[in-house]
Structure 1
């Protein structure tokens, strides 16, 4: 296998389509069931699917996606993501083994193939360590899938997911063995992949808005909700494209702590992608019933989407520019301050409030950038 790609390969974009399908199933589950439990289950499922995307992207960054066996690993991961997405709505019912078992098959199979392909190379040790961790967490995924009680399954899978994220974050530590070196990455490729997947995730909000409006009679309040969804999508795009996301490649290249940035990127982008998915789930219901007062879980989706996005943007901003903008903190506080009143307001009003919070943060960032052009990503 040769070194990783400098630009995204078309096969990687094909792989992204499977992940976007999983986003659609996640937001659909949130919107359809509208309960605290369904939100927790959906976020866990999204975190699991995100782990598949992140680790696959790291592999294509390290090894050329055009050299065997990498294309086959990508295709298998694509099929696995599609199967997990299909099983997601009933993953905590009768399709748990399809969801958890597919995860185990993807990760164990992938590491076994890499171990064989990397024979005699130093990189093989990382795959060996990953395999050991995946066997441990995979046991929890399978046991959880075989437990009939949904709450117990959720508990098992939360522990398994925590183990997976811990292993990645600490580079698969093994007692008695020295730490693995930091991930060696191609900055251009890695930045491009995260930029692409975030922008593609906004397509879920666009698609949900269009489908929700198309299935209902056009009324003034529904058109208003649709416009609010569009403007929210624009702000979510602009905030990323004109902020730290635009300088991600330069930040990775110039950072003295490149390894840390590579490891924190997945968590920052997960928060932002989860925020987009929650926002999309909220708008699915708001466009259909703009005058209805949202219950607690629905309010959490609408306002929580803004909070998750701003949290992710703050983390990314800190890693790229070594600062946490005050505007992001104020935005999170403002969104949370609306929550106690959300149950007494129409869903459209709550979504407008969340949109205004995001817009206010974006405007504050624009003013800050204009007052300090040297830090404006568009001018660097």
Structure 2
């Protein structure tokens, strides 16, 4: 008897390339992790606390990016992909729950769960893709996951928070290097560039960025609702809302809105696939840092922030501008002068900001972002026919 051929898992080019509702459901777990990350940064106003927050944020981001690449390559409606997404979602939720004490008693849960996600995903895809050429990528990814997973588990077992941070930074570097260089194996030829569905990939990045802004809005509302209303707190709340609007407008009226066209028209589509995660990570980290500052400033608007919190508020604006500049360069092959000026302004405000109140620092960061948005608006009026670069 001959075996009936198995249906391919990959997306059908002629089929719908829109994001599936299961993917949006998965994103809800990401938002929970982002909210806990910003809360951790707001509560621990030290350089160590900020470093720990950025590490856990980068880890959650790696979960989202790798899952999105899978759903971009394989149909989320073909087994076992839906079950794989739900399993990863459970792992992500467990990591988020362990996040507040990730450098304390829950280190092994946080690091071990990420290692288990990588290994389980690799084994599932290897089994599902047996006999197909696509299986090699999953095999290579599993090899790299064994190395990084060992470091994640070892880091979770280390009792000292400082050494745990060092070990986990090494583990995260392995994960990012593996993804960035497409899981190289000595003696084996490089894997081909990622083949993507432009409509789906662009939509997924747009969705996660907007959901991240939703976390900023949620933090603003919840922070104000837990405090007595004062002029200072309402001013801090209004500044937060204005900042959220500017962060949305800058993305929605800039390169973010033309991301699909850029991927479709780019002769270097593979490069866009690999730079998109880093550009959007910078913007997401900027929004999360801003949310952490908002939570603190609404609670104590007249308090003079320390250097780490000042760096968090101004650094949130700076990280967003860096990410927008990278995305703008990849889409339009240029770096807007307004972004450079805004970044320089955010850095220059640092020495002065440590002598100001938290509310004043937030207003200054918001004005920097607003100034960049005005610069973008003026440039758009001078060049209304701006289109993605094709060379």
Indicate the TM-score class for this superposition, using the shorter chain for normalisation: over 0.9
CA distance in 1, matches of 2:332, 2:60: 29
1:25-36 matched pairs, under 5 angstroms: 25-36=36-47
Is 1:2 the equivalent of 2:13?
no
How far off its partner does 1:174 sit?
A: 0.6
Residue in structure 1 matched with residue 374 of structure 2 by the alignment: 363
Correspondence for 2:89 among 58, 78, 98:
78
Correspondence for 2:156 among 120, 139, 145:
145
CA distance in 1, matches of 2:294, 2:22: 31
CA contact 1:369–1:376 (8 Å) conserved in 2: no
CA distance in 1, matches of 2:140, 2:360: 50
Gaps of 5+ in 1: none
Gaps of 5+ in 2: 1-7
CA distance in 1, matches of 2:80, 2:9: 11
Residue in structure 1 matched with residue 179 of structure 2 by the alignment: 168
How many equivalent residue pairs?
Answer: 377
1:87-98 matched pairs, under 5 angstroms: 87-98=98-109
How far off its partner does 1:221 sit?
A: 1.2
CA distance in 2, matches of 1:328, 1:202: 20
Q: Stretches of 4+ moved more than 2 A in 1? A: 1-5
CA distance in 2, matches of 1:341, 1:212: 26
1:208-247 matched pairs, under 5 angstroms: 208-247=219-258
Is 1:14 the equivalent of 2:25?
yes
Per-residue CA shift, 1:81-139, capped at 9, x if unaligned? 10000101110111000000000110100010000100111110000000000001111
How far off its partner does 1:310 sit?
A: 0.3
CA distance in 1, matches of 2:56, 2:279: 17
CA contact 1:334–1:357 (8 Å) conserved in 2: yes
Distance 1:83 1:171, change over 3 A: same
CA contact 1:26–1:45 (8 Å) conserved in 2: yes
CA contact 1:225–1:286 (8 Å) conserved in 2: yes
Is 1:287 the equivalent of 2:294?
no
TM-score normalised over the length of structure 1: 0.98
How far off its partner does 1:376 sit?
A: 6.6
CA contact 2:332–2:387 (8 Å) conserved in 1: no
How far off its partner does 1:220 sit?
A: 1.0
CA distance in 2, matches of 1:3, 1:173: 22
How far off its partner does 1:2 sit?
A: 3.1
Is 1:266 the equivalent of 2:273?
no
CA distance in 2, matches of 1:327, 1:176: 46
Correspondence for 1:278 among 278, 289, 296:
289
CA distance in 2, matches of 1:54, 1:29: 22
Distance 1:127 1:252, change over 3 A: same
Coordinate RMSD, CA, aligned = 0.9
Secondary structure of the 1:226 match is helix
Secondary structure of the 1:176 match is coil
1:43-62 matched pairs, under 5 angstroms: 43-62=54-73
CA distance in 1, matches of 2:232, 2:147: 51
More helix by share: 1
CA contact 1:370–1:376 (8 Å) conserved in 2: no
